[in-house]
Amino acid sequence: MSPEGQELLQSLAHTTARLARLEWEDPRQLAPALVERSRAIDAIRRWIAAEVGASRPVGAELAAQITLDLEKGKQVLLRRVLAREITRGDLMSVGRELQMLRNLQDSSTRKPVSLNCRG
């Protein structure tokens, strides 16, 4: 594989590793990391197209490394989606519990109804 191809693969591996780190460290930086990773994938795609266009073979080693990095990225994104859904469910549960607490609080602050002998 050419040095350029190796450099592009290293870039993809680096951006994938950064994405995995940010998943736990700073979720606010996920969007820029995804953009960076997308650019790395596009650069590899253009490089492969140029290699094929120049009749230079692109080896199985490249395909294996790209597949591995793409799978790692997919797993990171899947974990994020699952975490978001769990958080959404937790927020809904907390919202229901808060509503019940408010209803209980409202019912305890009401004045008792007084009854008289006349009805």
- Confidence check: pLDDT of 23 > 90: no
Mean pLDDT of 83-93: 91
Q: First CA to last CA across the chain, in angstroms? A: 96
- pLDDT for the residue numbered 103: 87
- Confidence check: pLDDT of 24 > 90: no
Note if the pTM is more than 0.95. no
CA 118 vs. chain centroid, Å, equals 68
- Confidence check: pLDDT of 117 > 80: no
